[in-house]
Structure 1
Amino acid sequence: MDIRPLVNADIAAIAALLQTLSREFIVHESSPEGASTFLAENNELGIRGYVARGHAYHVAIVDGELAGFVAVRDNSHLFHLFVAKERQGQGIARRLWEVARAAAVARGGDGAFTVNSSNHAVRVYESFGFVRVGPTQCAKGLYFNPMRLAADDPV
């Protein structure tokens, strides 16, 4: 597995993967309007906007194919973490997170992170050391679980 910073040529592929996985694991619980908004904000144009605003993306490549990706905003918020369905359960999400976390700290982050987890991903984030900091919430028709990782928590 190769994990590296995103390059422009990766954007279409990560947007396609995000759209596919979001339909199955995230927006099916949302209102039609919430699902539509989320998918529109996270299409190829949306990803390009996040990159332009400084979100730091890394991609995982396995056997020459995109296996997953991660994005961190402001060196403190785990913004995206997606792994191809056929690659889930192989440690790719954890490795992406470790690389993204180390890169955020190297850029000046203090090591504390937040994430707005889908219901599907709560257990994954808990395995990384994140804890829930509030009940399930709904914003723009999308359900999420606010979680936090303290700066002194082990990786």
Structure 2
Amino acid sequence: MTIQISRASTDDAEAISQLIQKLVHHFTVDPEGRGAEVFLKSAEVDAIRGYIAAPNFCYFVARDEDHLAGFVGVRDNAHLYHLFVDPLHQGRGLGRQLWDQAKAWAITEGNGSGFTVNSSPNAIPVYERFGFQATGERTEMNGIAFVPMRLELVAWRAD
């Protein structure tokens, strides 16, 4: 099984939306998504197409042949907006690969200070392994539970 990571196109929006819907129970307060209608609307195909096409977003997809194995999206070169890995591919380092790809791209595009993410409570250990640290308490808003986190970039100087 060979995973290929590439820039997302608007043609990927349907598969991205389906993967989010498949995993919605991991980050909504209600496992069925009740109360999270605002978020769920933002995960519909047309909304995802809009993010992919927007100049302040960058998305990468990981494919195993024709199957979407995962994806990552960064907003404004500073906020990890989406990171989802299909359960069939979890635990194999794919999330790290996607994050490393998106982070490198965002740094190249001019981010020098760091990144933020609103982590679902169950994903906190993953983001901690990436170097993020919690900056606030667990918050529930619009049916979504999250913990705000930040990754500071360390500037190295050659003297």
Q: Taking structure 2 as the reference length, what is the TM-score of the superposition?
A: 0.88
Q: Which residue of 2 aligns with 1:2?
A: 4
Alignment match of 2:116 (pick from 114, 117, 138): 114
Partner Cα separation in structure 2 for residue 148 and residue 116 of structure 1? 9
Q: Give, as a single letter, the amino acid of the residue that structure 1 aligns with 2:45.
A: E
Partner Cα separation in structure 2 for residue 29 and residue 118 of structure 1? 13
On the 8 A contact 2:30/2:143 being kept in 1, the answer is: no
- Per-residue Cα deviation, 1:54-92 (whole angstroms, up to 9, x for no partner): 310000112332100000000000000000011100110
Alignment match of 2:67 (pick from 65, 68, 71): 65
Q: Compute the displacement of 1:141 (Å).
A: 2.8
Q: Which residue of 2 aligns with 1:152?
A: 154
Partner Cα separation in structure 1 for residue 134 and residue 85 of structure 2? 22
Q: Compute the displacement of 1:28 (Å).
A: 4.5
- Within a 5 Å distance, the mapping from 1:68-147 to structure 2 comes to 68-110=70-112, 112-147=114-149
Q: Which residue of 2 aligns with 1:42?
A: 43
RMSD, matched Cα: 1.7
Percent identity between the two aligned chains: 42
- Give the unaligned 5+ runs of structure 1: none
Partner Cα separation in structure 2 for residue 4 and residue 146 of structure 1? 28
Work out which of the two has the higher radius of gyration on C-alpha atoms and give 1 or 2: 2
Q: Taking structure 1 as the reference length, what is the TM-score of the superposition?
A: 0.90
* Number of residues of Structure 1 aligned to a counterpart in Structure 2: 151
Q: Which residue of 2 aligns with 1:27?
A: 28
Q: Compute the displacement of 1:123 (Å).
A: 0.7
Going by fraction, where is helix more abundant, 1 or 2?
1
- Per-residue Cα deviation, 1:85-104 (whole angstroms, up to 9, x for no partner): 11100110000000000000
